[in-house]
Amino acid sequence: MDLDELNSTIRSCKLCKLSISRTNAVPGEGNPKASVLFVGEAPGATEDKMGRPFVGSAGKLLDELLKSIGLDREKVYITNLVKCRPPNNRDPESDEISSCSPYLETQISLINPKIIVTLGKYSTIYMLKKVNINVTSISKVRGKFYEWNNILIFPTYHPAAALYNPNLKEVLEKDFKVLGSKIGSKLFTLDNFMNENGPRNTK
């Protein structure tokens, strides 16, 4: 299976109740060989309407953050933990995450990124479980790298949170600077990064 086949499967998925209320499933988009994979929580109203990730107000902020470190949507891959919009933008429920997360696992396997940036509570909780970290607050884990299967997980806030709390925009900008410094003008090699910084939980 390649990404195109996976995306077709996601668009026709009926594994959970979100398939009843959605307009469009939102598989993800970007560079299929991206070194950096961004994982949000779930689509919002604009994403549900257009079938694309991060195209609303939060997406505009994400675009600005990417540009600030020399990246754009063509260089990265952007997706969500849950591929369909929860009604009224409520939080995704555990059964929905359980039904949908295998799609994310397949995306990770196919794209094979060097860094996974988790945007928001639910994608951060999901990914950091893999390194046995129980997330009680994003503020305690954000802005640091965690190694999993030769991939670096980098949690930060969801851009939508910064739209409601302007103070978080500064935090997001700071985290993206940390991310950008590791990527640099040319994509780093994971081996070099790990040799310089140690195996996990490095700032």
- pTM across the whole model: 0.91
At residue 188, the pLDDT reads: 54
- CA of 92: how far to CAs of 42, 89, 99, 150, 151, in Å? 7, 9, 11, 28, 25
Contact of 67 with 161, CB cutoff 8 Å: no
Residue 183: closest CA among 172, 192, 174 = 192
Does domain 3-183 correspond to CATH entry 1.10.10.10? no
Task: Taking the CA atoms of 180, 184, 187 and 190 in sequence, report the sign of the dihedral they define.
Answer: negative
- Judging by beta carbons within 10 Å of its beta carbon (0-12, 13-18, 19+), is residue 186 exposed, middle or buried? exposed
What stretches of the chain adopt beta strand conformation (E)?
A: 29-30, 36-40, 77-80, 115-119, 146-148, 151-156
Read off the pLDDT of residues 144-153 as tens digits, 9 standing for 90 and up.
Answer: 999 999 999 9
Q: Residue 176 in contact with residue 117, Cβ under 8 Å?
A: no
Question: What is the average pLDDT across 164-180?
Answer: 96
**Banded pLDDT at 184 (limits 50, 70, 90):** confident
Task: Inform me whether the pLDDT recorded for 196 exceeds 90.
Answer: no
